Amino acid sequence: MAPKVLFICSSNAGKSQMAAALMDQISKGTVTSYSAGTNPGSGINQEAVASLAETGADMSGGVPKPIDPAVVAEADRVVILGSEARPVLDPEVNVERWVTYEPSEDGVTGAERMNMIRDEIATRVTELFHELNED
Residue 80 has what pLDDT?
A: 97
Per run of 10 residues, the mean pLDDT along the chain (length 135 residues) is 94 96 96 97 94 95 95 96 93 92 92 96 97 82
Q: Rounded to an integer, what distance in angstroms lies between the CA atom of residue 131 and that of residue 135?
A: 8
Residue 135 has what pLDDT?
A: 56
What pTM was computed for the model?
Answer: 0.95
Q: Nearest Cα to 78, choosing from 23, 135, 5, 131? A: 5
Full domain range(s) for residue 35: 4-132
Q: Rounded to an integer, what distance in angstroms lies between the CA atom of residue 78 and that of residue 95?
A: 5
Give me the number of domains the chain comprises: 1
What size, in residues, is the chain? 135
CATH of the domain at 60: 3.40.50.2300
